[in-house]
């Protein structure tokens, strides 16, 4: 008992002496660092050494200076929604702490531990990071991350002691007081420990944050890494748009490249060390006004460095492996910070805490926000719906309110509950108003910035990295902030219409018929994967090409020959970091496809090769140069007829290269491919031969090739098609159009267009019968079963193997299919 008591009274504990059970003594941050230092270093996870100034030392500081009663008196009658009163009370408490003295006994213990750490690193006056570690922080259900201060590049005993005292004071910053009230913590029962840790020289390297799940959807099979040059505070605060890597956990260490997505950030700033002798040094006005001390500064990043990734793919993979080790050790998703020492090239984990947002959510409660976009004609009349700015969507919700543009934290008192906060960036000082906002919009930051993390935690939408939101959005105007439309977040003028659909997946049963999905947006795939399904029956390349590549493939292949200077300039801007322009197409397509394949792994994902019509291809950047004009593109040069044509064949080769990259380098062999608009068996054989030329061989490494059944000839000659392909997917839209001779886009004959017509249904029954004779699978990926549940029931009765539905109709259509299967069993 006395031993435990003595330990509880110790004022300094080394990382080698503490573990995760010591939160009450040293706070969550220190407890986690000690746990990893002791137990994970042997598994290859490097953690810079350090020590904790314990909660006992903080208590002694309060007792010695008789601060307990003074703090309680100041906090009497606190109303955290009164921003001015909160600010005044917080400032008064911090002033009391900063003007008190650390007891001599405590100061000597800190000096002694610092000296020993410096000697162990063979460096006089070792540069250390000094961070707060509250005894209730980083607990599942309550993330105190960023609530207190961090001081970097602290050198010498005098600076160290001052930084420790500032950390003590930071327990009572406005946002920390407010946060504790909201989470139900007693202000006087939260104590502070301080982390003193050797700094990795990321000021001349890189650093960032890492999550062992997708922070928007909660998808567990990925590691998300954000990276930028210099010290990590800029990434944490959202002051820069960082590079992003997404790695697929199940295949880490098993394939050539488990990176399923990477995005180049702008990384305009980097935080580095500075010293009082530096001519650019300027003292901060307040020691608690910023998350870092005066010993750092921001500098601009050179153009060449901005246009390359701040870490290598090999370094990203190493970090991801450590993330998995850390997650497995703690048995829960984790939020981590890391640093790359630019001098030694070594990577370190400098912090790890439980992910606290998705840990609280019910995985069986599915909620979907559906945007009802207004017609263009309505927007022209001045009604709601005009897009003001776009950025990165955080979450999948939608918020409406009056905009409040605030460019400086000094003006946060102007903010009113229910307004939309529009600002450059946020940091923890902004949290008292963020929690009463209906949505957040920022100029800077990525998906792991401070604004993004807080918005997820409090459950409101945020659109970050908009660039010029503070200039384009005007205070007082009603706006809609939408994160319900995929990766791109949009801010609309006025209040647009939307609805919310809620489903309890616990009560959801899978039918015998495979229910698959039609997916276009790679980012949305992580969200949709949570809905009960058997994979993807139709993944569309068109969405990826149109929204993420934006350039005609032949314009990239013939970039040097392009004559239009404006087009070339735009392509140069889009392809920053790619000297080889065709590699840009291959990578972007591969990453888009890989995200979908990973989301549904190991279930089948059937990818349809590009099926743009000539008029659609012409709208891509540089497309007009390479596309002919056709009077009827719907039945013109599209689908299979392009792939073996010398005029387009090289572009098809890029598509094949992307598929090879996904299957062979990333290891996502659950990916199958599908040929659209294949008019004749001979055309099918030509496409198979062309694929082989580009290294995609049917049957090799399990590759299956499907064909769309959307032309009557596909069904009339089904016997021949069965000998060429592994299966069929019915495209009910085109099959109905071509069977009935109806232009599906014409309002004049729209009343005739119906998938439930006897001719169409007869053809489908005939295909299923023939395909099953040759042991070929038949699915459907057209709009029909999504729009008409009775049509879906017909398909079940006809014996179809799978039905691929639009994500928004999966749940309601599945219920109808279950009804039909129940009737058939009677």
- Of the two residues 365 and 779, the one the predictor is more confident about is 779
Exposed e or buried b per residue across 651-676, where buried means at least 16 C-beta atoms within 10 angstroms of its C-beta? bbbbbbbbbbbbbbebbbbbbbbbbb
In angstroms, the CA 421 to CA 430 distance is: 10
Is 781 marked active-site? yes
**What does pLDDT average to over the chain?**
88
In angstroms, the CA 495 to CA 561 distance is: 47
**28 in Cβ contact with 334 (< 8 Å):** no
Burial class (CB in 10 A: 0-12, 13-18, 19+), 332: middle
User: Catalytic pick from 450, 656, 678, 722?
Assistant: 450
Residues 656-712: tens digit of each pLDDT: 999 999 999 999 999 999 999 999 999 999 999 999 999 999 999 999 999 999 999
pLDDT at 364 over 60: no
**730 in Cβ contact with 767 (< 8 Å):** yes
pLDDT band for 282, please (50, 70, 90 cuts). very low
Residues 199-257: tens digit of each pLDDT: 999 999 999 999 999 988 889 999 999 999 999 988 988 889 999 999 999 999 999 99
Residues whose CB is less than 8 angstroms from the CB of residue 557 and which lie 6 or more positions away in sequence, other chains included: 581, 582, 650, 651, 654
Is 450 marked active-site? yes
Question: How many CA atoms within 13 Å lie on the side-chain side of 698?
Answer: 20
Predicted confidence at residue 700, as pLDDT, reads 95
Burial class (CB in 10 A: 0-12, 13-18, 19+), 60: middle
pLDDT at 571 over 70: yes
Residues 410-466: tens digit of each pLDDT: 888 889 999 999 999 887 678 778 888 999 999 988 776 778 877 876 778 999 989
Predicted confidence at residue 357, as pLDDT, reads 67
All domains of the chain, ordered by start, with CATH? 1-199 (3.30.1490.20), 203-278+295-354 (3.30.470.20), 373-496 (3.50.30.10), 505-824 (3.20.20.60)
Residues 371-385: tens digit of each pLDDT: 886 654 444 444 568
User: Catalytic pick from 466, 483, 656, 781?
Assistant: 781
pLDDT at 308 over 70: yes
**137 in Cβ contact with 180 (< 8 Å):** no
Mean pLDDT for 598-613 is 96
Supply φ then ψ for residue 714, to 5 degrees. -60, -30
**452 in Cβ contact with 394 (< 8 Å):** yes
DSSP-based three-state secondary structure for 339:
strand
Mean pLDDT for 7-15 is 90
Predicted confidence at residue 361, as pLDDT, reads 59
DSSP code, position 251: G
Mean pLDDT for 651-658 is 98
pLDDT band for 3, please (50, 70, 90 cuts). low
pLDDT band for 182, please (50, 70, 90 cuts). confident
Instruction: Calculate what percentage of the chain has a pLDDT beyond 90.
Output: 64
Residues 697-742: tens digit of each pLDDT: 999 999 999 999 999 999 999 999 999 999 999 998 899 999 999 8
| 819 sits in which H/E element | helix 810-825
pLDDT band for 143, please (50, 70, 90 cuts). very low
pLDDT band for 292, please (50, 70, 90 cuts). very low
Mean pLDDT for 338-361 is 86
**814 in Cβ contact with 532 (< 8 Å):** yes
Supply φ then ψ for residue 819, to 5 degrees. -60, -45
Mean pLDDT for 261-275 is 91
Predicted confidence at residue 448, as pLDDT, reads 63
pLDDT band for 363, please (50, 70, 90 cuts). low
pLDDT at 142 over 50: no
Residues whose CB is less than 8 angstroms from the CB of residue 260 and which lie 6 or more positions away in sequence, other chains included: 222, 246, 247, 248, 591, 594, 595, 597, 598, 666, 668
Predicted confidence at residue 472, as pLDDT, reads 95
Q: For the full predicted model, state whether its pTM sits above 0.75.
A: yes
Mean pLDDT for 176-196 is 80
pLDDT at 499 over 70: yes
- Of the two residues 746 and 5, the one the predictor is more confident about is 746
Predicted confidence at residue 269, as pLDDT, reads 94
Of the candidates 220, 781, 784, the residue with the CA atom closest to the CA atom of residue 515:
781
DSSP code, position 700: G
pLDDT at 505 over 70: no
Concatenated DSSP letters of 413-478: GG--TTPEEEES---GGGHHHHTT-SEEEESS--TTSHHHHHHHHHT--EEE--SSHHHHS-TT-E
DSSP code, position 621: B
Mean pLDDT for 613-636 is 94
Predicted confidence at residue 243, as pLDDT, reads 96
Predicted confidence at residue 445, as pLDDT, reads 80
Tokens representing 335 are 């939020």
Tokens representing 151 are 């001081």
Predicted confidence at residue 134, as pLDDT, reads 80
Predicted confidence at residue 360, as pLDDT, reads 58
Q: Is the dihedral of CA 32, 38, 40, 45 positive or negative?
A: positive
């Amino acid at each position: 008992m006395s031993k435990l008591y003595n330990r509880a009274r110790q004022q300094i504990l080394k990382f080698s002496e503490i573990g995760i059970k010591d939160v009450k003594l040293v706070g969550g941050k220190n407890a986690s660092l000690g746990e990893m230092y002791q137990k994970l270093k042997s598994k290859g996870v490097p953690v810079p050494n350090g020590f904790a100034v314990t909660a006992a030392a903080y208590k002694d500081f309060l007792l010695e200076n008789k601060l307990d009663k003074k703090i309680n008196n100041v906090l009497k009658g606190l109303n955290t929604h009164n921003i001015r009163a909160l600010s005044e009370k917080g400032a008064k408490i911090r002033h009391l702490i900063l003007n008190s003295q650390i007891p001599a006994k405590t100061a000597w213990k800190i000096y002694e531990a610092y000296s020993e750490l410096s000697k162990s690193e063979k460096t006089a006056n070792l540069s250390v990071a000094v961070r707060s570690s509250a005894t209730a922080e980083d607990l599942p259900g309550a993330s105190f991350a960023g609530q207190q201060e961090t001081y970097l590049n602290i050198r010498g005993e005098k600076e160290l002691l001052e930084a420790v005292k500032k950390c003590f004071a930071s327990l009572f910053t406005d946002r920390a007081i407010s946060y504790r009230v909201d989470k139900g913590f007693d202000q006087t029962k939260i104590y502070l420990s301080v982390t003193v840790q050797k700094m990795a020289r990321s000021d001349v390297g890189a650093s960032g944050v890492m999550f062992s799940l997708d922070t928007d959807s909660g998808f567990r099979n990925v590691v998300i890494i954000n990276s930028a040059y210099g010290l990590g505070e800029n990434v944490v605060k959202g002051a820069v748009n960082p590079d992003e890597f997404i790695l697929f956990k199940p295949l880490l260490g098993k394939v050539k490249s488990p990176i399923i997505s990477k995005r180049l950030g702008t990384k305009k700033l980097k935080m580095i060390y500075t010293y009082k002798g530096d001519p650019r040094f300027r003292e901060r006005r307040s020691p608690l006004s910023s998350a870092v001390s005066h010993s750092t500064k921001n500098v601009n990043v050179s153009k060449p460095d901005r246009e390359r990734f701040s870490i290598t793919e090999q370094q990203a993979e190493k970090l991801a492996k450590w993330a998995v080790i850390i997650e497995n050790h703690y048995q829960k998703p984790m939020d981590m910070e890391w640093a790359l020492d630019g001098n030694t090239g070594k990577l370190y984990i400098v912090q790890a805490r439980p992910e606290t947002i998705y840990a609280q959510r019910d995985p069986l409660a599915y909620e979907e926000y559906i945007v009802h976009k207004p017609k263009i004609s309505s927007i022209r009349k001045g009604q709601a719906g005009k897009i003001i700015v776009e950025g990165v969507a955080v979450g999948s919700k939608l918020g409406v309110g009056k905009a409040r543009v605030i460019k400086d934290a000094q003006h946060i008192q102007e903010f009113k509950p229910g307004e939309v906060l529009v600002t450059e960036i946020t940091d923890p000082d902004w949290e008292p108003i963020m929690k009463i906002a209906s949505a957040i919009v920022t100029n800077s930051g990525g998906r792991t910035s401070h604004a993004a993390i807080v918005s997820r935690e409090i459950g409101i939408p945020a659109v970050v990295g908009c660039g010029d939101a503070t200039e384009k959005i005007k205070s007082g105007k009603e706006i809609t902030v939408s994160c319900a439309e995929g990766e791109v977040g949009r801010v609309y003028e006025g209040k647009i219409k939307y609805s919310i659909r809620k489903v309890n997946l616990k009560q959801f049963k899978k039918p015998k018929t495979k229910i698959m999905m039609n997916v276009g947006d790679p980012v949305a795939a992580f969200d949709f994967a949570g809905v009960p399904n058997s994979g993807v029956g139709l993944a569309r390349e068109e969405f990826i090409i149109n929204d993420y590549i934006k350039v005609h493939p032949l314009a990239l292949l013939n970039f040097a020959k392009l004559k239009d200077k404006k087009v070339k300039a735009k392509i140069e801007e889009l392809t920053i970091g790619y000297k080889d322009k065709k590699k840009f197409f291959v990578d972007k397509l591969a990453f888009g496809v890989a995200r979908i394949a990973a989301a549904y792994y190991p279930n089948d994902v059937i990818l349809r090769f590009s099926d743009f019509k000539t008029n659609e291809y012409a709208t891509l950047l540089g497309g007009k140069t390479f596309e002919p004009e056709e009077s009827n593109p719907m039945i013109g040069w599209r689908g299979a007829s392009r792939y073996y044509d010398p005029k387009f064949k090289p572009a098809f080769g890029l598509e094949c290269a992307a598929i090879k990259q996904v299957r062979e380098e990333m290891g996502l062999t659950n990916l199958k491919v599908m040929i659209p608009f294949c008019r004749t068996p001979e055309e099918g054989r030509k496409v198979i031969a062309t694929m082989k030329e580009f290294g995609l061989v049917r049957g090799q490494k399990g590759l299956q090739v499907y064909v769309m059944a959307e032309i009557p000839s596909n069904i009339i000659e089904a016997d021949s098609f069965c000998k060429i392909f592994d299966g069929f997917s019915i495209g009910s839209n085109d099959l109905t159009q071509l069977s009935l001779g109806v232009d599906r886009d014409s309002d004049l004959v729209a009343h005739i267009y119906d998938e439930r017509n006897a001719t169409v249904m007869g053809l489908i029954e005939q295909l299923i019968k023939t395909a099953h004779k040759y042991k070929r699978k038949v699915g459907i990926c057209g709009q029909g079963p999504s729009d008409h549940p009775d049509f879906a029931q017909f398909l079940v009765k006809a014996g179809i193997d799978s039905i691929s539905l639009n994500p928004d109709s999966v749940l309601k259509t599945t219920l109808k299919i279950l009804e039909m299967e129940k009737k058939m069993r009677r």
